[in-house]
A and B are shown apart, each in its own frame.
Chain A
Amino acid sequence: MNGRRMRALVLAVLAAVPAALAAQEGAGAGNVAVRLSARGLPGDLVQRVQRIATDAAAHGVPAEPIADKAIEGWAKHVPAARIVAALRAFADRMTEAGAAVRSGGLARAPGSVIAAAAEAMGGGLKPDEVSSVVRAAPTAEEVAPGLSVAASLTAQGLASRQAVTIVVDAMVHKRPMSQLLDLPSVARSMHDQGMSPGEIGEKLLPHHGDHGPGGEHHGDRNDRPPGPDHPASPVHP
């Protein structure tokens, strides 16, 4: 194969990739319509949701979480106009969340990760805090649980920065997933014992964490804020 033909082949492949991705996204939007119709959403609402999902897919945002949200709203008897407005806001947040996830080093994040990041941002996490969790996660599979735990701790009253620091520390120190996922339960138990969110955060903070959540303080205080310089970026697949 001569050089000219090789260049033509490469160009053809490069041109085909976006088309294939667009086709996939279109198929995702098509699935959205099928799912919504199956759940009894009226045709005009299905079309509006599908448009939102197609627009979102064009920005690399997964369509399935949008369909899930529409189904949730319909099940709760939320008026159609309000569902559409909520979905637009959710799609925008997912676009922002996708950027935060990519900024954290996960170039092609699964839809579940972007949805988790969007929910976490809806719960009060800032984009740079989302990036910190992504960066700290040992594997891509641990990003969504980490974000969910950080969001849950934030929803329990901890400052988002504090919640993210707790999660990032657990990830950096390679604590088992079970321990990470247990943090909201531990925080809730502390709350039931009468501790304030501030006290819970202090108790769960890394300088208590040498012996797991709620452990005794045996080391130097480590309340470095999550940010681009912390911690070393793992390589995500």
Chain B
Amino acid sequence: MTDGRAFGPGTQRYLDGEPSPALGSGAEPSPGERAAADRLIALARAYAEGLEPVSAAMDEAVMAAVRRRGAVPADRGAWRWFVRAHRVSVRPVWMAALAAAAALVVWLAPRRPATGTRAELVVAAASAADTVFVRFELVAPAARSVAVAGSFNGWRPDALPMVRGAAGIWSVTVPLPIGEHRYEFVVDQTRWVTDPTAHAQVDDGFGGRNSVIIVGPKGLVRS
């Protein structure tokens, strides 16, 4: 077969049976190319006329071979069930029930509540069944360091350092178990300060106060 790159675009269109370009457009095939193309077309017709149609027996034999090759081995019953086509009939009422169940799953899926504003205790999102991420914030522009210490970290004043953000807002996010927690902020490693936005302030038994938060499973809101 002639290499198509030997012909110009006009000749290729001629071979493809497209309408001839307008005369004088410069895209029409040259007389030599046109003659070569005519020879190719004549040869192709002669070849096609020499072809015999595939017999029905041959067709059946080929399809049988294809079916054998594509058949699933008999010992893979479960796999065969999966790959085989099945006819499924569903009642509309079950479709509605399935849709409702899917909507329920989406609705119950954990989602991230809105974040809080400054000086708020924010519970962000549930990470596990019994743990909720709680964001502690304290506005302390003059502080050199702030940490949160409480019943959830053995009252270690250096375990949960907070990060200073814009406008002197210190914050840290901590995963806390559901339930009651008592805590205070430790400013500059020496000063213990209650959280003005906590659920409550209670006597700590030593003459000071503790802040109290109650973390609920549904993500809570703010203190």
Contact = CB atoms under 8 A, between A and B. Distances in A.
Among B192, B199, B212, B218, chain A packs the most CB atoms within 10 A around the CB of: B199
Contacts of A184: 199-200, 212-214
B155 A151 contact: no
B202 A122 contact: yes
Nearest to B199: A184
Interface string A164-199: 000000000000011011111101110000000000
The bracket for how many chain B residues form the interface is 20 to 34
Interface stretch (B48-56, B63-71, B137-145, B203-211): B203-211
Contacts of B180: 116, 119, 144-145, 148, 152
Nearest to A191: B199
B217 A69 contact: no
A82 B217 CA distance: 37
A71 B154 CA distance: 7
Among A76, A145, A187, chain B packs the most CB atoms within 10 A around the CB of: A76
Given A39-B154, A145-B179, A185-B222, A78 B206 contact: yes
A183 to B, nearest CB: 8
A155 B201 contact: yes
Given A75-B155, A76-B192, A189-B222, A182 B216 contact: yes
Interface string A63-85: 00000110111011010001100
Interface of A: 39, 68-69, 71-73, 75-76, 78, 82-83, 86, 89-90, 116, 119, 122-123, 144-145, 148-149, 151-152, 155-156, 177-178, 180-185, 187-189
Interface of B: 149, 151, 154-157, 178-180, 184, 192, 199-208, 212-218, 220-223
25 contacts: A71-B154, A73-B206, A75-B156, A86-B205, A89-B205, A123-B202, A123-B203, A148-B180, A148-B212, A156-B200, A177-B216, A178-B217, A178-B218, A181-B215, A181-B216, A184-B213, A185-B199, A185-B214, A185-B220, A185-B221, A187-B199, A188-B222, A188-B223, A189-B221, A189-B222
